[in-house]
Chains A and B, each alone.
Chain A
Amino acid sequence: MPNGYWDRTLHVDLSAGTTRVESFGEAFWRRHLGGRSLIAHYLLTEVPTGADPLSPENVLVFAAGVLTGTPFPGAGRHSVGAKSPMTGLFGESEAGGFWGAELRHAGWDAIVFHGRADKPVYLWIKDDHVEIRDAAHLWGKETGDVETALREEHGDRLVRVAQTGVAGENLVHFALVVNDLNEVAGRGGMGAVMGSKNLKAIAVRGSQKVPVADPKPLQATAKWVSATMDDVHYNFHHYGTGAGIIGKHLEGHMIVRNFQDGQWDPAKIAAIDAKTIAETDGYKMDGCYACSVRCKKRVKNEAMGVLPKFGGPEYETIGSIGTNLTIGDLPMVMLMNQRLNQVGIDTVTFGGTLAWAMECFERGLLTVEDTGGIELRWGDAATVLKVIDLVARREGPLGELLADGALAAARRLGKDSEQFVVHVKGLEVAMHDPRGMPRMLENYPVTPTGGDHTGGAHQKTSIRNTVGLCIFLGYDDERTLELVRAATGWDLDDQELRTVVSRGLSMARLFNMREGMTTEADALPQRLHEPLLKGPLSDKHVTRDEVRTIVTDYYVSQGWHPESGAPLNGTLEALGIADYASYARDVAVVGVGAASLPPLVLGANLVAEEQHSE
């Protein structure tokens, strides 16, 4: 009997309406541990080169890690992956909540969807019982109604639902997958892939415990988190993300007006930060599976129709539709956050795309003729609220223009407007400005998923995205290793854990290069090479040479070719993934790689620094 995994991946062929179970054996699981590495395995082996991300040829993978659903704080994470419609490259996004743990409690490690159903369907899983069911009654419905309907249909209020919203049905390229109504796999358009497969939802109920080799370290960790809450997790426990964002303003790297300013009105910043949110009527904190930190906001505003079940604005949303669009009206930020969750849109790309559109409107490049008469002005929350629905349904010229993200919109608009798109590899940059954050400067250009602050190249985020562990938990590397060892019973050491991270990154690299990505994509956009207009960083200039040096150093540290960025033969062999090169034949993997396994990127000197990240 294995520990830490069931050795059961569920394959669902939506075209044929069939399912099958795949088991790999222990060696495979020890090689990959789940999450990102499992997604990379399926994207390389199952997706044909050059496949349209929204075609039946793409796969959609829901992957747990070996820690997902085991009983200690932070073990409620799972990953969703596919070839991304935003980047055309490796797509991966992670979510918390209860859905991933429930999948594991039903006895499954992962689900891989293939093909496309000929009509809307949803997947029902109750332990071993798996059923593709008609979803005609759910299609076109918003997320809250879908979850209610599925729980009533199965007569169980603890059925956990992951779903795509109406934005995903309409193939909005930055549609997300939401589970438990407020937890999202937001980046990269995984919800669009789900919609393209006519797959509305996955409803899960399980009754089993994930087998673990030694429960004692997990129990001890749960006790440690409770006993040290004030010392280690005070901020997350009381405010979640988004507290003290005035610090970004003071340091001069707050995201304002499409990454132009770096500073904003301190009173307006204070009006929408997490501390102010915590003072609103009806506010409370809630948690993910087995987690006592409880860092998730739930907000309420009866007058605005804001309901706690849709959660509350986290930092990325406060930044993307608040400071970036200069909207300092908290009830409106709360309402827009809810609306985006109800229709299933990634707040980061939505805010980034709107910021691009507002800047273009201000510059006269985008006019009311292009927008269907809508004026796009900084700070105009009422208009932004309307645009959410236009985009979700691709309605009108503005909804259609923006529905594929800022880069696609700029290429349609022309007028040299692409210079104002703040993206990496086609994905809008998250709400952390690399001009003020060296770690993000080292992260964005080389992250396989593009402008994503959590999908990155850092050791900590990568290993946690692989094993199913939340990055907010203040565990050091030693404890993380101990938890994986306890769950699996394997005598892993730190080097082996790091090797798993390198493996996932090299596999994602193979996939991206196979899909035509070149080193030119490992870069920052024009805007981030310009100085900020306000504040203490306004004289700071990030040069292209500086970024190129970071990128080259990264290639070398990974055992990749310093010029082409292709993983070297020796590296693939040292990592034990030479077999995957046959799925990326056009990638020139040459030369002898590292004599030993590549030491993790940025690793050693950042591990101590990365205590934990929001």
Chain B
Amino acid sequence: MNIEVHLHGGLVRYVPDAPRGVVRREMPAGSRVVDILASFDFPPERRVIVGINGEAAGLDDAVIDGARIDLVPPISGGQDSERTI
């Protein structure tokens, strides 16, 4: 299945070939959020907020074909924010 991943803020640096932070991924059917995160070279301690089609998602949530995935560092506040705006 095909998905579109939008990386935000400082996560954009991990996709140097996509300067605007938008990448397409072909993933096996049944893939979960954790599989998508594993397809990027993020440091293991990096906390990432995940959205699927605008709704918050957890690591074990399934991804559906054609979904828009947002990967956001906690720069905008939140329980464990390292930064706030």
Contact = CB atoms under 8 A, between A and B. Distances in A.
Interface in A207-254: 230, 234-235, 238-239, 241-253
A247 B84 contact: no
A440 B13 CA distance: 29
A247 B77 CA distance: 8
Nearest to B51: A250
A433 B76 CA distance: 11
Interface residues of B, number: 29
B66 interface: no
A335 to B, nearest CB: 22
Interface in B35-69: 49-51, 53-56
Given A234-B13, A266-B54, A614-B85, A251 B78 contact: yes
Contacts of A611: 82-83
A436 B79 CA distance: 7
A273 B76 CA distance: 11
Nearest to B55: A250
Nearest to A242: B85
B32 interface: no
B8 A315 contact: no
Size bracket, chain A contacts:
35 or more
Given A250-B70, A251-B77, A611-B83, A266 B12 contact: no
B24 interface: no
Nearest to B52: A250
Contacts of A273: 8
Contacts, number: 106
Given A247-B72, A251-B49, A613-B83, A234 B77 contact: no
Contacts of A234: 9-10, 12-13
B77 A437 contact: yes
Contact of B72 (A244, A253, A431): A244
Interface in A394-440: 431-433, 436-440
B20 interface: yes
A587 B75 CA distance: 40
A244 B82 contact: no
A198 B49 CA distance: 50
Contact of A275 (B8, B74, B79, B82): B8
A536 B76 contact: no
A529 interface: no
A612 interface: yes
A145 interface: no
Contacts of A539: none
Contacts of A128: none
A436 B20 CA distance: 28
B8 A246 contact: yes
A432 B75 contact: no
B13 A230 contact: yes
Contacts of A491: none
Contacts of A235: 9-10, 73, 75
A246 B70 contact: yes
Contact of A613 (B8, B70, B84): B84
A100 to B, nearest CB: 23
Given A230-B13, A243-B9, A275-B21, A251 B84 contact: no
B9 A250 contact: no
Contacts of A439: 81, 84
Contact of B73 (A247, A249, A265, A433): A247
Q: Which 5 A-B pairs have the closest CB atoms?
A: A266-B54, A244-B8, A247-B72, A614-B85, A244-B9
